[in-house]
Amino acid sequence: MRRELEILERLKKAYPGARIALRFENPLQLLVATILSAQCTDERVNQVTPELFRKYPDARAFAEADLEELAEAIKPTGFYQQKAKYIKEACRILVEKYGGEVPKSMEALLELPGVARKTANIVLANAYGLVEGIPVDTHVRRLSQRLGLSRQKDPNKIEKDLMALIPREDWAVIPYVLQAHGRKICTARKPKCEKCPVKDLCPSAGEYLA
């Protein structure tokens, strides 16, 4: 079996329940939560969103929100003033162009403020079951480089490399097994290579085990 596929299979076995960590009940909530997750942990986002979604139950409520109040509500997620602008403007577009609904196409999602391919991929796959690519967050980027799956630094280029290596039927699961592995074993500062199920396949393991 090709090295990349063996890595994927072992990680799938190690993290059989790997799935998106953000909590949401509909596509709009997932869109907002994903925008908030930029430069912020999913855990922190999940602490903020229950009250946020009670206060702003739909796209129109976000679009008509007082910007300062919205920013204050999401302050714990960091970069809150910019995120508030993104959310308010994105929801204004949703109301005006899509009847308040989140569109089901990559092209339409990428027109929304604060939405790049990572966010669009997450929304399409987890809200609509439409897998068009692989979302690349900080964990996926770090592990892709350490495992030798990509030498690129740009998320869009890493995504292209992963899409070329990984069978399409696994595009939906690979970001979440990589995230789970990144949180538990292959951490940013001090990876626990001695406990890693793919250390014999990892070109970086020797550097950290030495």
CATH code, 91: 1.10.340.30
Residues 42 and 73 in one domain: yes
- Total domains present in the chain: 2
Given pLDDT bands bounded at 50, 70 and 90, which one contains residue 158?
A: very high
* Average pLDDT score over residue span 138-145: 96
Domain extent, residue 75, equals 27-128
Non-local CB neighbours of 31 within 8 Å, separated by 6+ positions: 90, 102, 112, 115, 119, 123, 127
Q: Which of 83, 88, 118, 199 is catalytic?
A: 118
Residue 181 neighbours by CB distance under 10 Å: 24
* Average pLDDT score over residue span 17-34: 97
- CA dist 117 → 29, 136, 143, 159 (Å): 17, 8, 19, 9
Catalytic status, residue 200: no
Q: Give residue 1's pLDDT.
A: 57
Catalytic status, residue 118: yes
Residue that terminates a domain, selected from 111, 128, 145: 128
Q: Give residue 210's pLDDT.
A: 66
Task: Assign residue 141 the CATH number of its domain.
Answer: 1.10.1670.10
Condensed to tens digits (0 to 9), the pLDDT of residues 73-104 reads 999 999 999 999 999 999 999 999 999 999 99
Residues 204 and 168 in one domain: yes
Residues 31 and 119 in one domain: yes
Residues 194 and 156 in one domain: yes
Residue that terminates a domain, selected from 81, 110, 128: 128
What are all long-range contacts of 172-177, with beta carbons under 8 Å and residues at least 24 apart?
A: 172/125, 172/131, 173/12, 173/18, 174/8, 174/134, 174/140, 175/134, 175/135, 175/136, 175/137, 175/140, 176/15, 176/18, 176/19, 176/20, 177/8, 177/11, 177/12, 177/14, 177/15, 177/18
Residues 7 and 67 in one domain: no
Q: Which of 42, 83, 88, 137 is catalytic?
A: 137
- Return d(Cα 36, Cα 71) in angstroms, integer: 11
What's the pTM value of the predicted model, to 2 decimals? 0.94
